[in-house]
């Protein structure tokens, strides 16, 4: 099955903008197919249809990653400033460590949550504007903001307790 569909899958991924990653994505598609087959314990009713469904989902995931990977984390100092504003005077070394920790935290957030925070704090967009760009409701944007800030505040508080 791999040799039969390999070129078709590769072309499928290339047409969707993943020309550099097409081979890896073909491999990942087959890996996911094998995992699903092993987990189910019985044969997949229509392996070819399942294969292309997996490929389509993988292409969508890759497109989202490409779209949001263009947002530089270095420009997120506004968030650092907002989160650090609650504190009393810190010395420069502690502030630098805190900023580094926040950058690491932002890197661990889900891509969409990180993108929402960037658009709100760096770009100054409203919930409505962010929602229009992402194709989600303002309420969903607010949930991403609350979730992202909550994760950052909790982790920064844990770091402060460790000092």
Tell me the C-alpha to C-alpha distance, in Å, between residue 52 and each of 18, 32, 66, 135: 16, 11, 21, 25
Is it the case that residue 91 has pLDDT exceeding 80? no
The residue among 115 and 103 whose pLDDT is bigger is: 115
Structure confidence at residue 139 (pLDDT): 92
Q: What is the pLDDT of residue 59?
A: 82
Retrieve residue 24's tokens. 């890896």
* Phi, psi dihedral angles at 27 (to 5 degrees): -60, -45
Listed in sequence order, the DSSP H helices in 41-126 are 47-68, 77-84, 92-108, 111-117
- pTM above 0.85? no
């Amino acid at each position: 099955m791999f040799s039969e569909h390999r070129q078709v899958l590769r072309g499928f991924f290339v047409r969707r903008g993943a020309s550099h990653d097409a081979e890896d994505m073909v491999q990942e598609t087959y890996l996911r197919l094998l995992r699903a087959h092993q987990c189910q314990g019985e044969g997949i009713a229509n392996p070819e249809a399942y294969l292309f469904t997996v490929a389509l989902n993988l292409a969508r995931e890759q497109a989202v990653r490409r779209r949001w990977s263009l947002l530089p984390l270095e420009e997120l100092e506004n968030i650092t400033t907002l989160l650090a504003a609650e504190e009393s005077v810190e010395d420069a070394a502690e502030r630098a460590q805190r900023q580094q920790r926040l950058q690491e935290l932002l890197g661990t957030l889900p891509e969409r949550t990180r993108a929402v925070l960037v658009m709100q704090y760096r770009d100054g967009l409203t919930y409505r504007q962010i929602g229009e760009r992402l194709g989600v409701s303002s309420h969903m944007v607010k949930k991403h903001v609350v979730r992202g800030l909550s994760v950052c505040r909790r982790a920064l508080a844990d770091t402060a307790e460790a000092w």
